[in-house]
Amino acid sequence: MSRPARIVVYIISALLAALLGVLFAQRMEPAPEVRALVLDAPRQLPDFALLDHREEAFGPARLQGRWTLLFFGFTNCPDVCPTTLDTLARTVRLLQDLPVAMQPVVTMVSVDPMRDTPEQLAAYVPFFNPEFVGVSGPMDQILALTRGLGVAFAYTPAASGDSESYSVEHTASIFLVDPQGRLTAIFSTPHKADELSAEYRWILRQYG
Amino acid sequence: MRTLLRRPLLLVGMLCLALVAACGHQAADRSPHAIDPWIRLAPPGAGMLAGYMVLENPADHTIELVSVSSPAFASVEIHRTEVTDGVARMVAEPRVSIAAEGRVIFEPGGRHLMLHGPAQPLAEGELVPLELVFDDDRHLRINATVRRSAEAETNDDPHKHH
């Protein structure tokens, strides 16, 4: 073989080796069975003006700077919401080894603003973890946020007919919002602390 | 022993007693029973709490749970959480059928006792009396433990060393 030809062969071999190396390296980080729906492109949230349980303004600006695990519920919920809050408390405990700036902020937005005043949320949400945030406010602002996320909710009368005891059907998914305030992923039920924390870690690694 | 053998009537009497005792014991075993009844600890001011357990029916026929009450709550209803298209809703179950030699599970995210209007805030570890009434008029009195989480879930702390 002539010298130039040999050089071409060497170069091609080197490129092939490099390509194989890259492919092999990618296989070393196997993509897990991620059940979460990870959006192809993070979605900007609509504008909304609500209050947190300390009656401080809660709008899109509050979702900047930290990852947020956001979900929708109400304090008169016996099963789903306390279970979700408890699962999230355990999820956050499993993520305590992460730098604080990478740990998620858990936020529950009430779909029952009539009964869930900031005061009511203050007695409820921090019980599961003192860092958790409860959010409520005017119905039109709650709707602005729920519509932007595709969250549905409806009021159903209590079997007893008592007008104060109505229940609320609501989307039970947990929404992951990135530090730029964009919807990044959706975790549908059932929720398990070990699965949520593992998928959260995986998503953070993808985002660098 | 010699006395027994000499008094056949006494022996037969004692055998009958033993048989009746055995039958009676078997009948008691066929009553429904609850395994690990617990109530999720709720924040102060929570108006609705949830109760969970495994309810077993060892009898050879289906029984129905028709009502539940507790002195600790204004009312108790049976509900089931259902998630359809991502939306969670509660479905009332006025009666719960338990198949012969079967069991029904009350657990977070599923069937649960909806405990409405606590007489006073409940503390972790407290035992709360519940009375379950079945369609055959059988009453089952149980004590539910107040807990933060289901037992199986309290051990997922990665820093805990066993």
Within 13 Å, how many C-alpha atoms sit on residue A165's CB side?
Answer: 15
**CB-closest option in B44, B92, B109 to A79:** B109
pLDDT band at A189 (very low <50, low <70, confident <90, very high): very high
pLDDT (0 to 100) of residue A33: 76
* Buried-exposed string A68-101: b where 16+ CB fall within 10 A, e elsewhere: bbbbbbbbbbbbbbbbbbbbbbbbbebbeebeee
pLDDT (0 to 100) of residue B162: 41
Per-residue model confidence as pLDDT tens digits over A102-157: 999 999 999 999 999 999 999 999 999 999 999 999 999 999 999 999 999 999 98
Task: Give dist(CA B104, CA B97) in Å, integer.
Answer: 8
Per-residue model confidence as pLDDT tens digits over A20-60: 877 766 555 555 678 999 999 999 999 999 999 999 999 99
pLDDT (0 to 100) of residue B44: 84
**CB-closest option in A123, A127, A171 to B86:** A171
pLDDT band at B158 (very low <50, low <70, confident <90, very high): very low
pLDDT (0 to 100) of residue A57: 98
How would DSSP label each residue in B38-67? EEE---TT-SEEEEEEEEEE-SSS-EEEEE
* Mean pLDDT over each residue of chain A, to the nearest integer: 92
| Residue B111, both tokens | 């069937």
Handedness of CA B6, B8, B13, B16 (dihedral sign): positive
Which phi and psi angles does A51 have, rounded to 5°?
Answer: -125, 145
Question: Looking at per-residue confidence, does B153 or B87 come out higher?
Answer: B87
Task: Give dist(CA B136, CA B62) in Å, integer.
Answer: 10
What ipTM, to 2 d.p.? Answer: 0.81
Cβ atoms of A187 and A174 within 8 Å: the answer is yes
* The pLDDT of residue A168 is above 90: yes
Can you say whether residue A137 is alpha, beta or left, with left for phi > 0 and alpha for psi between -120 and 50 degrees?
A: left
B91 touches chain A (CB under 8 A): no
* The pLDDT of residue A7 is above 60: yes
Instruction: Say which residue the tokens 């990135």 belong to.
Output: A178
Cα nearest neighbour of A157 on chain B: B90
pLDDT (0 to 100) of residue A74: 96
Task: Give dist(CA A144, CA A149) in Å, integer.
Answer: 9
Residues in A touching B45 (Cβ below 8 Å): 75, 120, 123-124
Task: Give dist(CA A104, CA A94) in Å, integer.
Answer: 11
Residue A182: which of A205, A155, A148 has the closest Cα? A148
How would DSSP label each residue in A170-190? EE--EEEE-TBSEEEEEEPSS
